[in-house]
A = this chain, B = another copy of it.
Amino acid sequence: MIILTGGITNPGPAKTAVNLLRYKPQEVVAILDENNRGKASRELFGLGGMIPVVASLDQAPEANTVVVGIAPTGGKLPREMKATILEAIRRKLTIVSGLHEFLSSDAEIAQAARQHGARLVDVRKNEERDVAHRQGLREQCLRIHTVGHDCNVGKMVVSLELSLALQKAGHDAKFVATGQTGILIEGDGCPIDAVVSDFVNGAAEKLVLANQQHSILLIEGQGSLAHPRYSAVTLGLLHGCVPDGLILCYEMGREFVAGMDTCKIPPLSTLKQLYETMANLMHPCRVIGVAVNGRKYSDTEVAQECEKVRREMGLPVCDVLRHGSNDLVKAILELKKQLGKS
């Protein structure tokens, strides 16, 4: 695949690109970004090694797929990206997008795809129309859900890392993707924030029912209960996936909601209580660990932060990309034992 980033290198808006580079580097042929042509991926994102940054599709003739690698607020296709997509369609490449604005709803793109026989994949397109039923949950399956203090703090990465670590330790764990990037990485899941709101809880429940043959589910969280924009998504997912345990994810140093600099984020202890209160309306549940994203800080600073939060919250804390996820894995297995799940 070739990843379009439209010149964006901030790992927040470019999170699809960043995480494909982190978890699927062997499938990435190139990054298309005119402004940064000639560089290597690791120079832009600290990931993806020597994967080249190119200025046109010509320079990556071996690609058979183009992926829109950014997730802008509101999910609209950037105008300047459309020309590249039309060019890719003329080359009969498959186009994959996780935007709210569907490729297939753009008359020009849809018409070009028909004409050239190119495939359009709109990851967020869905026809979810089922409400939740709260029936048929397999009691032996442990449901762990990552929740956060804001968007883009690492809920997907933590869910994925925990599922990989649990699998490595011999457990039958499954990453349950709920966002476009997670779906591209895992190959299945549901784009929960694109579901019609009446059916969000139902779509989350369906995801659990579809995967509960596994022993442990790591269900990717979305947004935050305190997010002025996305709290609907967060609560529907929290209620629909009826978790047994939560991992609270946050980015160290972030005080205001990203992109909304008058909206202060509540303290972690408040958020812990909020998530537990809301989750327990449906099913017994507690926060069992904290995942810090310390990307802007040094090893020493992150270690101090972890120690501080560990003391304050009385919970295991780690930065999974820096420390691995042993402490959180232990907390999950401990909960599994406590609840008598085999």
Contact = CB atoms under 8 A, between A and B. Distances in A.
Interface of A: 73-76, 100-101, 129-134, 192-198, 200-202, 225-226, 228-237, 239, 260, 262-263, 266, 274, 277-278, 281-282
A260 to B, nearest CB: 6
B236 A232 contact: yes
Contact of A198 (B75, B260, B278): B75
A263 B321 CA distance: 40
A228 B240 CA distance: 7
Given A100-B129, A225-B281, A226-B281, A200 B262 contact: no
22 contacts: A73-B131, A74-B131, A75-B198, A100-B129, A131-B230, A133-B260, A134-B228, A193-B197, A193-B198, A194-B197, A196-B197, A197-B200, A197-B233, A198-B230, A201-B228, A225-B278, A231-B236, A232-B235, A232-B239, A234-B235, A235-B235, A274-B281
Contacts of A192: 197
A202 B227 CA distance: 12
Nearest to A134: B228
B229 A132 contact: yes
Contacts of A73: 131
A69 B305 CA distance: 58
A118 B233 CA distance: 37
Contacts of A133: 260
Given A195-B196, A196-B194, A201 B226 contact: no
Contact of A197 (B75, B129, B132, B197): B197
Nearest to A202: B229
Most chain B CB neighbours (cut-off 10 Å) among A134, A235, A260 = A235
Given A131-B230, A226-B281, 8 more contacts: A192-B197, A194-B198, A197-B233, A225-B235, A228-B282, A231-B239, A232-B233, A266-B281
Contacts of A233: 197-198, 232, 236
Contacts of A239: 228, 231-232
Contacts of A234: 235
A274 B76 CA distance: 34
